[in-house]
Amino acid sequence: MEHHETKPKIAVRDLTMAFGSFVVMKDLNFDVREKDIFVIMGGSGCGKSTLLRHMIGLKEPAKGSISYDGENFTSSAAEERLKFIRRFGVMYQSGALWSSMTLAENISMPIEEHTDLKRAEIKDLAYYKLALVGLSGYEDYYPAQVSGGMSKRAGIARAMALDPEVMFLDEPGAGLDPLSSQRLDELILRLRDSLGSTFVIVTHELASIFAIANNSIFLDTNTRTQGATGDPKELRDHSDNDTVRLFLKRGETIEQDESHE
């Protein structure tokens, strides 16, 4: 196993997440390293999206902290917090693009909002971002005119509009056929390699987890805390937590089933 001695990109410490008196997860402790493709995994309703919302500042921890590059995000003042948020790119589960705008206009929006660039420069940037996700030639299409997979890729291009250091994707493969889902996985790997960004991805799709992730956290609904953190392949083969191993081993049966088709 490789060990990087660098400071973690993201450090989550003693995090408890709750809605009122309902505790979703407690005592979460994990690191995300720079250039990791880190997946948040676990069964339905365990708190994956809620964890992502904590990491981008949409929800406050009941306890604990989240730091970026050694700086405390959780305790930061409003103004300082905006600086953190500017370094994030987010694609939500609903991930929808604005239907009344072309793909290029969808990507231009955040650039217009957050920079002083001129119109022509913004257009160039939007075209460039679409090219990065393999959508050259589709700049003037409306979301309804492209496939689900293309729409997800445009959503990723929009999340990348401001060159984020960390990309957060909530269930990017949801609703996609296996081939489009696989193409999306390949895109994520390629973007990580070419742009050097860090990815935090919510997913419960095992094929996708094994294809892209080098680091992860498993949220266990029964114990209401993390079952394990680390490389999903290693957890599948060596975790001393039965629930984690069982969850990840389902992947083998799925992969075998698919190879017999």
Ligand X SMILES: Nc1ncnc2c1ncn2[C@@H]1O[C@H](COP(=O)(O)OP(=O)(O)OP(=O)(O)O)[C@@H](O)[C@H]1O
**Interface positions with ligand X (CB under 6 A):** 19, 24, 42, 44-50, 204
CB of 170 to ligand X, least distance (A): 8
CB of 153 to ligand X, least distance (A): 21
**Phi and psi (nearest 5°) for 100?**
-90, 5
Quick check: helix, strand or coil at residue 217? strand
Taking the C-alpha atoms of residue 198 and residue 19, their distance in angstroms, rounded to an integer, is: 28
Nearer to ligand X, 153 or 204 (CB): 204
Nearer to ligand X, 92 or 210 (CB): 92
CB of 39 to ligand X, least distance (A): 12
Closest by CA to 190, choosing from 65, 35, 47, 17, is 35
CB of 40 to ligand X, least distance (A): 8
Nearer to ligand X, 45 or 178 (CB): 45
Nearer to ligand X, 111 or 217 (CB): 217
Side chain identity, residue 221 = T
CB of 229 to ligand X, least distance (A): 16
Nearer to ligand X, 24 or 130 (CB): 24
